[in-house]
Chains A and B, each alone.
Chain A
């Protein structure tokens, strides 16, 4: 085999190596860089219990029928909230994670 032929074979091999390296790099980058973090969830601003959304505001003095019926409506509203809370408790206890790869 002539010296020139050997040089050509080496050059072809080197080009082949470079081509494989370039291809594998390009493939990985194009597949992965499209995955980005999109979640921007705000943090709670306060832990103070100053909200009055669960203060029912039942009058302590008005004993009229109208006032009593209004009080029962207020209680019904809270009872609906209690149903929602109960559902949240069940959901929390029955939660299942999305499986992640382990290896």
Chain B
């Protein structure tokens, strides 16, 4: 055995050591995770680096699962609400339900893929899948408020229908009392306001639906994102106006009913008095 032989063996041994450690290097360089207080960079520092890398990866997967579950909860809640809508057109409902269902399917698939990546230590695929959560948020961020706006508009239209039915009945009573010579001017005035408010609420809700029904995900285009946000906020403002209209209409309806009740009570009292006077003669 001589020195030359040793010089040939030692480099081979060195390469073997390097190969053994290389996976740790590769993973620590490819995974970076953040937490609530800022970024946590995983660095190569022997065994502690590997442990930190594994923890960072685990935290990233946990955050991904939390976000996916959060979105699934919102999407399923919206889906239930959409299925209960009764006034919007079948086309709008079908379109909305289809978008929601696609998102639910995508989220379930992505969650399963992330779990598979994590269990097989496929860090590159895991990183890509987690990044797709952020990218897909653009779709989620449109569908949820869009669906909520259409659901609220549907409720407004239901209330408009209810108020129309009640208004017809109130008008019948008002007309009857007017024919009987009762003073129902306050009810007539409130009725005029009620009809105007209900009509405006209906128009506002239709404007809101028209404003959001054609919106498409921005796919990262800033101008589209801004126009979508503006349209959603405008629709919300329309629906808030509609809501205020309906609150006012409800007050009008209550005031009209009170007037009509007082007229009927008064008429009943008068009738009783007249009847008593007649019988005593």
Contact = CB atoms under 8 A, between A and B. Distances in A.
Nearest to B129: A100
Nearest to B75: A41
B16 interface: yes
Interface in B154-189: 154-156, 158-159, 161-163, 165-166, 168-170, 172-173
A2 to B, nearest CB: 6
Nearest to B16: A17
B243 A99 contact: no
Interface size class of B (residues with CB under 8 A): 35 or more
Interface string A46-85: 1111011111101110110101110110111011011101
Given A32-B118, A89-B239, A93-B236, A51 B253 contact: no
A79 B72 contact: no
A97 to B, nearest CB: 5
B76 A44 contact: yes
Question: Which of B24, B65, B90, B152 has its CB near the most chain A CB atoms (within 10 A)?
Answer: B152
B207 interface: no
User: Chain B binding site: helix, strand, loop or mixed by DSSP?
Assistant: helix
Nearest to A33: B119
Contacts of A2: 1
B130 A85 contact: no
Given A54-B154, A100-B134, 10 more contacts: A31-B54, A35-B58, A39-B68, A49-B85, A72-B250, A79-B250, A82-B152, A82-B159, A91-B148, A99-B34
Interface of A: 1-3, 5-6, 9-10, 13-14, 16-18, 20-21, 23-24, 27-29, 31-39, 41-44, 46-49, 51-56, 58-60, 62-63, 65, 67-69, 71-72, 74-76, 78-79, 81-83, 85-86, 88-93, 95, 97-103
Interface of B: 1, 3, 5-6, 9, 13, 16-17, 19-21, 23-24, 27, 31-34, 47, 50-51, 54-58, 60-70, 72-74, 76, 79-88, 90, 93-94, 97-98, 100-101, 104-105, 108, 111-112, 114-115, 118-119, 121, 127, 130-131, 133-134, 137, 140-141, 144-149, 151-152, 154-156, 158-159, 161-163, 165-166, 168-170, 172-173, 232-233, 236, 239-240, 243, 246-247, 250, 253-254, 257, 260-261, 264
